[in-house]
Every structure is written in structure tokens, then in C-alpha cells.
Amino acid sequence: MSYSKERHIAELAVQRACILTNRVFHSRVKGTVTKDDKSPVTLADYGAQALVIGAVNKNFPQDNIVGEEDAEVLRQKADVREPTWQYVKETIEQSQEVVGEIGSINSAEEMMDLIDLGVHAGGPTGRIWALDPIDGTKGFLRGGQYAVCLGLIVDGQVTVGALACPNLPVDPKNPDGEKGIILSAVRGQGATLKPLLENICADEPGIPIKMNAPASFADAAFCEGVESGHSNQGQQASIAKKLGITKESVRMDSQAKYASVARGDGDLYLRLPTSMTYEEKIWDHAAGSLIVEEAGGIVSDVRGNPLNFAVGRTLKKNNGVIAAPKNLHAKVIEAVKDELKAVL
């Protein structure tokens, strides 16, 4: 199968969601709510989830969806539901040219029902879309990096991925220039990149991307998270030292790290667990990991095992994530195993 329709719809869906996230960012009303796990969620998370699931459900109504958010808060609180619905409505009005392909949403009730289609349990068989409507909500709120991430898992294997990163520069050599890129990939067909335009333009072909292949660690740079609670930065620094990496690491929130490594802004992405009991979520890695693999890299857990997307909503068979160029991956795993020997 070519999966060209899936890729096209995924690209359109994440692009439209970014119109909404951008509107919310530039408005006073972001409606930040703190979830039970203490992480923030905003109107933009809910609105983006509704828009993306609307697009997936219109085109592939038989498919299952694993989405990060649910509509419980919206059903209980009119002061969260109503502004979210306003943003969704305005975004659809602003993107009429794609309504024929990715659909409309006609009421707040329908919006909440779409959000709640993301409840699937995941698993080893069938077609399952994994959606993070805003990965890196903290980055989004601080005007830093965030991503709208959508992956299609087919019989346990990530097969299609689309990643919209509204705050990554189009030209990495000009970090203050135009911002916003969209990356996508189909397994076996490579990864591409194109600018994330204000007016949705999915017919524009993407440019194929390839990861850097630094000859040695002396030329390599790490990409890692901003939040010290999400990965063990002390151990990551110690691994850098062991490997002889001297370049300063680039820190950013969200799957923008996968995007950066895939297009060669950085070389390695290290996400060492802060706790061996934390289970990474499939929506935090599906799209990004495929894009790095299709750009020529290897993505694994800290033991060097492939990420297992077939066991539910989380990656419960894995700990941490390592993304590296093919020629360096084994050496990184060696250093990681040595650093983590007390817990592995």
C-alpha cells in the first residue's frame, strides 16, 4: 500500500490544527487547566484534538484512535467548552478550502464527541491513529517549541507520521527567520519537510530529508528536553562526556526534537528515564520516531530494543528513547547501558 491518502490527510489535519493553536497562542484566553498528573492542558489541546480527529474520522471512519485528551472537562465546564468551540468554529471558517477533504464540525456537542473518539486502548492489531494534539504544552505556553503529532500504527508498527512544528525555523541557519515546518513520512518511502504555511497548501511536495551522519562523536551534538522532570539531564551529560561529545546540547520541548534530529539540526536525541516506572505514551513518539527512521536514523529504548507500539496506549515494554545516526547508535547504547547499569 502507498498510504498516500493517509499521509495527505494527516498533513492537512495537523496543518489545520496549527491554525487553531496559533490563534490561541496570540489570544488572552488560553484556558489553562491542570490535569491530575499536574501537567497543563489548554483550550488549544482540546480544539486541536477535535479538528484532527474530525479529519481522520471523516476519511477513515473504521480506524481506531488513541488521543491524549478527553472531553470530560469540556462537558463539565461551560467556561472551557464555549471558548474552545469558538476557536474550532473560527478555525474551520478560516480554512474553508479544506473542509471538503477533512470535514467540518457543526456543534460543541459534536466537537466533544470527536475528542472522545480518542479513547481506544491501542494494541497489536488493526489501524490505530496516535494523536498528541499539542506535544510540549509547556513549550507552547512559553512561546517555545511544540508540535502537533499524528501517527498511524498498522498491526503494531508505525507506518505513517506527520509532525507540525510551528516554531521551528524554516531555515535552521536563520533561526530568527520564517518559522513553521511540517514533516511527514511513510515507512519505506522516506521523510519529507515543507514550510507550514498560513494558508493550508498540502499539494506542495515536501523536500526529502536525511539525518546527519557525523563521522565521530567529536562532530555530534545532543538534542534533549527542557523539563528536568521528563528526562535525566545529569546522566545525559555524563553520557555525552563518556562519548567525547563537546558541543553544547540543544534543548527544546516536544517531538520538535525528533524533527530537529531528522533534518540535521542536531545529531542525537537522548531521553533517559527519570524513573523506570514511567511509561512513555505512544502519541509522544509515534510520528517522530518514524520520521527519524525514515530520515536514516535508528530509534530504540535505552537497552537498544525497538519501541514497541503494539502493547497499548503506552510503551510499557520500553524505558527511555535514544535516536541516533546508524553509524553511532550502537556506541551510544553501550555508553547508556554503562551509565544505567545500576537500574537495567
Ligand X SMILES: Nc1ncnc2c1ncn2[C@@H]1O[C@H](COP(=O)(O)O)[C@@H](O)[C@H]1OP(=O)(O)O
Q: How far apart are CA 182 and CA 193, in angstroms?
A: 6
Q: CB nearer to ligand X: give 187 or 251.
A: 251
CA-nearest of 92, 83, 3 to 52 is 92
284 is in an annotated binding site: yes
Q: How far is the CB of 329 from ligand X (least distance, A)?
A: 19
How far is CA 160 from each of CA 11, 40, 63, 133, 335, rounded to the nearest angstrom? 10, 28, 14, 16, 31
Active-site residue 192, yes or no?
Answer: no
Separation between Cα atoms, residue 245 and residue 241, nearest integer Å: 6
Question: Do the annotations mark residue 301 as ligand-binding?
Answer: no
Our CB check for ligand X shows the closer of 39 and 199 to be: 39
Name which position in 230, 285, 313, 329 contacts ligand X (CB under 6 A). Answer: 230
Stretch that binds ligand X, among 77-85, 207-215, 225-233, 325-333 (CB under 6 A): 225-233
The response to whether 135 counts as a known ligand-binding position is yes
Q: If binding is defined by CB under 6 A, does position 39 make contact with ligand X?
A: yes
- DSSP 8-state code for residue 314: B
Among ligand X, Mg ion, none, residue 229 binds (CB under 5-8 Å by kind): ligand X
DSSP string, 112-174: HHHHGGGB----SSSEEEEEEEEE-HHHHHTTS--EEEEEEEETTEEEEEEEEEEEEESSTT-
Residue type, 78: A
267 binds Mg ion (CB under 5 A): no
List the interface residues with ligand X, window 104-143 (CB under 6 A).
Answer: 135-136
For residues 132 and 343, give the distance between their C-alpha atoms in angstroms, rounded to a whole number.
29
DSSP secondary structure of 238-302: HHHHHHT--SPPEE--STHHHHHHHTTS-SEEEE--S-TT---BGGGTHHHHHHHHHTTEEEE-T
- Tell me the angle at which helices 4-25 and 78-94 cross, rounded to the nearest 10 degrees: 120
With CB cut-offs between 5 and 8 Å by kind, which of Mg ion, ligand X, none does residue 274 bind?
A: ligand X
Q: Which helix (H) or strand (E) element contains residue 339? A: helix 326-339
60 binds ligand X (CB under 6 A): no
Angle among Cα 83, 87, 90 to the nearest 5 degrees reads 135
Options 42, 84, 91, 137, the catalytic residue: 137
Number of residues that bind ligand X (CB under 6 A): 13
Q: How far is it, in rounded angstroms, from Cα 125 to Cα 92?
A: 33
CB 135 within 8 A of CB 284: yes
Q: CB-wise, 186 or 323, nearer to ligand X?
A: 323
Measured between alpha carbons, how far is 211 from 89 in angstroms, rounded to an integer?
39
CB of 133 to Mg ion, least distance (A): 9
Is 68 among the annotated ligand-binding positions?
yes
Closest listed residue to residue 139, CA positions, set 229, 252, 234: 252
What is the distance between the alpha carbons of residues 146 and 317, in angstroms, rounded to a whole number?
26
- The annotation status of 155 as a binding-site residue, yes or no, is no
By CB under 6 A, the residues from 257 to 276 that bind ligand X are 274
Residue 37 makes contact with ligand X by CB under 6 A: yes
For residue 82, the minimal CB distance to ligand X (Å) is 24
Q: Give me the least distance between CB of 35 and ligand X, in Å please.
A: 7
Nearer to ligand X, 7 or 313 (CB): 313
Residue 98 vs 223, nearer CB to ligand X: 223
C-beta nearest to Mg ion: residue: 135
Least Å from the CB of residue 34 to ligand X? 11
Q: Is 135 in the site for Mg ion (CB under 5 A)?
A: yes
14-22, 127-135, 238-246, 268-276 -> range binding Mg ion (CB under 5 A): 127-135
* Binding residue for Mg ion, selected from 6, 11, 45, 132, defined by CB under 5 A: 132
Q: Which is nearer to Mg ion, 66 or 332 (CB)?
A: 66
45 in active site: yes
* Catalytic residue set: 45, 137
Contact residues for Mg ion (CB under 5 A)? Answer: 132, 135, 284
In the annotated binding site, the residues are: 68, 132, 134-135, 284
